Structures are given as C-alpha cells and as structure tokens.
Amino acid sequence: MTTLDQSFAALADPTRRALIARLAEGEATVQDLARPFSISQPAISRHLKVLEDAGLIETRIEGTARPRRLKPEAVAELWDFLGQYRALWDVQFQRLDAVLDGLAAHEQGTPEKPKGGHDGE
C-alpha cells in the first residue's frame, strides 16, 4: 500500500534520478530520454514504468510517441517524511548554535549554515 516504498525505491537508482533531472527541464519522449544513456530503449521504458508506478511521472499519448512529464506534487509525501527527521536535525543543531554563539561571530557566509536554511517556505 505504502507508496513511500515505491517512491524511495524508484529514486534509489541513479539512472532514474537522471531521467527525472532531464524531465525537470520539460517533457521528453523515450527517444529523448534514451539518447544520452548507454543503455537500451527497453531498459529506459522499464525505468519509466517504475517512475510512473511510483507516481513520480505521467504519460501523455501523442501519435506513437509517449511524452513523459514530471508530477512534482508526488514529492510532497517524501518531503513530509523527511521533514520529520529534518526537524530532529534542526534540534540537534540548536545546541551547536549555542556553541557557535559562544565563539563569537568571526565569520559570515561559511559553507556550513548553522541556522537551518534549506527550504523556502
């Protein structure tokens, strides 16, 4: 039942993540998607089926072509799941924040962001 199973499993494959990255730029056919990869067209079609079964993409029919597009709203469930643990992460860093405060503000704009600045609500 859990679609989290399918979604996480779908994203566990680097080829599928690359397909998603490509689709983030816009609709693409199987041909378009297969071209940059060194794997066969049937393999791509199967990856796309996995992504679609997970609800991450959807298919439109146009002649013989089947352009795929992202369904970004599918990310919501994963986002919420991770959000639970990101909250813990923030809590952990609250202590670190205190330490950093004690060390005085000696640097600004370091690669590490003590104040969890990851999302954009």
- The contact set with DNA (CB under 7 A) reads 9, 12-13, 15, 29-31, 38-43, 45-50, 59, 63-67
3-class state of residue 66 by DSSP: coil
Which letter does DSSP use for residue 59 in this model? Answer: E
Report 23-52 residues binding a copy of itself (CB under 8 A).
Answer: 24
Encoded tokens for 90: 């923030």
Tell me the site size for a copy of itself, rule CB under 8 A.
39
User: Counting Cβ atoms within 10 Å, is residue 55 exposed (0-12), middle (13-18) or buried (19+)?
Assistant: middle
**Residue 60 interacts with, from DNA, a copy of itself, none (CB under 5-8 Å by kind):** none
Distance of CA 18 to the CA centre of its chain: 10
Cβ 85 to DNA, closest distance in Å? 19
| Three-state SS at 57 | strand
Residue 70 contacts residue 57 (beta carbons within 8 Å): yes
Q: Using the rule CB under 8 A, is 58 a contact of a copy of itself?
A: no
**80 contact choice in a copy of itself, DNA, none (CB below 5 to 8 Å, kind-dependent):** a copy of itself
Could you list the residues that contact a copy of itself (CB under 8 A)? 2, 4-5, 8-9, 11-14, 17, 20, 24, 70, 72-73, 75-90, 92-93, 113, 115, 118-121
